[in-house]
Structure 1
Amino acid sequence: MVNTQIRLLAKSQATRSTLIKTIIKWLGFLGVEAKVTQLDTLGDKIQVSITVAQPDTSEDNDWQEILNHLNQDTSETIEFASDRSSSIPAAQETKYQRILAYAIQMSNPDKIDWEQVYPQLQLLGLEESMLLGIKSALKVPQSIDRLVKDLDADVAAVALSQTASIALLDRQVNPEEYQALQTLLKAMADNCR
């Protein structure tokens, strides 16, 4: 999917507006209203600045807490590596692997071909040990409701992102994948309270 997006942008005569619309659309899937305020190149990278408004469905006090936390420490800079799974606590790792296995099972409930799935998961930046755990978890049916029980909110956020990536590998989200995404979103919200 990433290669497809890159090709579309490369062939677009309106690369800037297409990229801006894509960013806004992706954030919109999360219920976030965003405005791209800057889009430039920086060497071999693209630098994007966005302004994000409070989502309509969020509580005012939650949004204010977020703003307060962000205003407390403005010196923090984070570099995100391509491997999002490295931030998963060891105690939640098996649960995380099973959630991703569930996402794969829902994307193709009839038959899972590991040889086909494996390279796609590698493109998501998952470590080899994580991939082996997912492969093992694919051998048994998973229950998303049981998996999200006592799931750390931060792990739910990472799992939501990766589950969405898995769901979109075939460029469509089926009802089962949508339900899994909704369940993870709810778990994330419930565990933040």
Structure 2
Amino acid sequence: MQQKLIDFIQSGHPLSRMDKDLIFQYFEPVLFPKNRIIEEAGKVPEYLYYIISGYLRLFHYNENGDEVTTHINCPPGFFTSYFNFINTAKSNENVECITECELLRITKTDLDSLTSKSEAMKDFSIEVFQKSIVYNETRSTELATLSGEKRYRKLIENYPGILHNVPITYIASFLGMKPESLSRIRRKLI
């Protein structure tokens, strides 16, 4: 599985033999069943995950006890509660496997070791976290400025596989709407 991560990284960053060996050394392959919470709210996230296959979500409970999905990730890519992982701070969010997930994971300590030993991985890590910041800022802007229909259209345009793998209730929450509202939008677009 590490070879898939190597191929992903090499699409933009050349890796030496040593870099590749370090990836095999530090990234641990894991397989989780659907509906498994792999990082719990109230704890410091233990791992940064690279998704080989499957869908994950970040969610928390609001003051009414309802689940609020704040992020859904489609493979390939990295996933965790980034701020809390980087700052080794307790997260208020859970990381859950929506589907069965094949993942590679790395601890913060091992990520720090890896990036101190490999300039290519240091550069790549910085790029991943920069993209995460841009994504989160873009998402905040879209939630504040786009209509529900436009947010939905953009989601299915960019991630068409999400509809076949993620329950509508999670998608609606992620888009900042009630499931009934999303159902009306979907009926209108058919």
Structure 2-normalised TM-score?
Answer: 0.28
Bigger proportion of residues as helix: 1
Report which structure shows greater RCO (CA 8 Å, sep ≥6): 2
Bigger proportion of residues as strand: 2
Structure 1-normalised TM-score?
Answer: 0.28
